[in-house]
Amino acid sequence: MTQVSSPFRKSFSTLGSPNLSWEETLNFAQQHNFDGVELRCLDGNVLAPSSLPSLLPAAESFSSELTKRGLQFQMLGTSVKLLNRTPDELADLRELARYADATGCPWLRIFDGGSANEPLTDQVLAETSTFLNEWEKLRETERIRCQVAVETHDAFASMSQTAHAIEQLPSFHILWDTHHTWRFGEKLSDYYDVVRDRTVHYHLKDSVDRPSKRKPFTYVCPGTGEFPWAELKEILQSAPPQGFLSFEWEKHWNPELAPIDEVAGDFHRMTENW
């Protein structure tokens, strides 16, 4: 495959290659000219504290192999939620943070939770503030270096919800899922004005306005759907992102999607010279 020129670093989420092993994932990243890997699934399993030892090598071997291949591990995807959490989620975050630190990964992805159509209540904001404070205390006590990035997946697909949260909560970082923002009907440039100083990572994908088994829309190959790639390119070029542009091909949840190796080139083509 011909190397595609881009000033921005690019990664892919292993949500798109869920059945590959760790070794196969690294081979894929190199073969398709990605700069980094965002881990979410391996060997058919979603990563969790209990599955890390069986799915990933010891931290020293992990880091050594990445360095040898010239790849970066920028984001570890967790199932933890910021809003309306279960009681054990801080403990899960702690275990995943230990592995992230040991491998030099700077970010843990957590979901926002909630709903973009339901306003954040004072109680939810207070509980969320408490959770973030507990996390920061844990980081300080255990000298955890990695930080959390909240994916704009549900409640924070809404610009007003996100702006309200940023105003009311302690500082937190954002993984901007550009597709969910657009699908919710927000203008990307207006939304980016709200989150630009907090955003550290970007998810990109494409879809058409046709219901699928799981969603009111259908994911399609990058560039063949309705997502405004040119508009996003213009936004990001006006203020280059700090972090990676990450291809999130949701094959783990939508097995009918084409294999990621058939569409990775289209992602590079759509983000060429970004």
Residue ranges per structural domain of the chain: 9-270
Q: What is the mean pLDDT of residues 214-233?
A: 97
pLDDT band at 3 (very low <50, low <70, confident <90, very high): very low
**In this predicted structure, what is the pLDDT of residue 87?**
86
Q: Which amino acid is at 166?
A: I
Residue 238 has a CB neighbour count (10 Å cut-off) of 10
Q: Give ∠ CA 56-3-68 in degrees, rounded to 5.
A: 35
Q: What is the mean pLDDT of residues 167-175?
A: 91
pLDDT reading at 8 higher than 90: no
**In this predicted structure, what is the pLDDT of residue 107?**
97
**In this predicted structure, what is the pLDDT of residue 238?**
80
- pLDDT tens digits, one per residue of 34-53: 999 999 999 999 999 999 99
- pLDDT tens digits, one per residue of 124-157: 999 999 999 999 999 999 999 999 999 999 999 9
Q: Percentage of the chain surpassing pLDDT 90? A: 90
pTM for the model stands at 0.94
pLDDT band at 1 (very low <50, low <70, confident <90, very high): very low
Domain 9-270 superfamily per CATH = Divalent-metal-dependent TIM barrel enzymes (3.20.20.150)
